[in-house]
């Protein structure tokens, strides 16, 4: 049985959800961001118990098809931005989403906007800015290298977008001693 799970955004989430499912005596046949294939098929009572235990940890079982698709959109964007095996993020997101989710981008965009009260484009920008914050805090790359890595046309473009989202320039952010990064599942 395929379970769709909201707020799985990283490898640690996969590990925690796997442990919870195994704790309920389910075999995890396959698991990735936002979904797990388990056997045997759990009863309604067991699904309710699993839902309650996952909710305590900040996850949520999803049962509506539209909600499942929105979560797949979110997870695909997070995977592309935060877990991409490519050294640079030069991606046409509309094509990548359509290819991976096997749906027209216009449908995905409309569905996401109706459900999330933001557009896919704004969500992508928010995710990219969180990744930029992470890279700035690591201090291993300069702003030009970060801009190239994240798929921006220039460091000026990155700086303008960073300031419009955070209210700070990248250099102002770098001088902050406070960790101002947001958890991915809260974006």
pLDDT digits (tens, 9 = 90+) for 77-135: 999 999 877 667 788 999 999 999 999 999 999 999 998 989 999 999 999 999 999 99
Measured in degrees and rounded to the nearest 5, phi and psi for residue 34 equal 90, -5
The predicted pLDDT at position 111 comes to 94
Does the reported pTM lie above 0.75?
Answer: no
Choose one of 13, 41, 63: the last residue of a domain.
63
Looking at the fold, whether 97 and 161 belong to one and the same domain comes out as yes
- For residue 31, give the CATH number of its domain: 3.30.70.100
Looking at the fold, whether 91 and 143 belong to one and the same domain comes out as yes
Which residues does residue 32 pair with via DSSP β-bridges, in sequence order?
35
For 52-56, the CB contacts below 8 A with 24+ separation are 53/20, 53/23, 53/24, 54/5, 54/17, 54/20
Looking at the fold, whether 108 and 55 belong to one and the same domain comes out as no
Looking at the fold, whether 43 and 78 belong to one and the same domain comes out as no
pLDDT in tens, 17-68: 999 999 999 999 999 988 999 999 999 899 989 999 999 999 999 888 899 9
The two structure tokens encoding residue 83: 């877990």
Residue 122 burial (10 A CB sphere; 0-12, 13-18, 19+): middle
Domain range for residue 167?
Answer: 67-186
DSSP state of 154: -
């Amino acid at each position: 049985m395929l379970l769709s799970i909201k707020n799985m955004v990283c490898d640690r989430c996969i590990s925690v959800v796997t442990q919870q499912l195994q704790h309920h005596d389910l075999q995890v046949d396959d698991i990735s961001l936002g979904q797990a294939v388990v056997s045997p098929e759990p009863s309604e009572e067991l699904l309710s118990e699993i839902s309650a235990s996952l909710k305590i940890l900040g996850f949520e079982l999803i049962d509506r098809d539209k909600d499942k698709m929105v979560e797949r959109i979110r997870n695909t964007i997070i995977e592309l931005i935060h877990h991409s095996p490519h050294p640079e993020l030069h991606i046409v997101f509309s094509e990548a989403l359509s290819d991976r989710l096997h749906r027209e981008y216009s449908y995905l965009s409309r569905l996401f906007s109706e459900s999330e009260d933001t557009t896919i484009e704004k969500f992508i920008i928010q995710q990219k800015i969180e990744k930029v914050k992470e890279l700035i805090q690591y201090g291993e790359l300069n702003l030009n290298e970060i801009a190239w890595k994240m798929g921006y046309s220039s460091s000026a473009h990155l700086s303008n977008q960073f300031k419009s989202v955070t209210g700070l320039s990248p250099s102002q952010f770098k001088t902050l001693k406070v960790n101002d990064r947001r958890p991915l599942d809260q974006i």
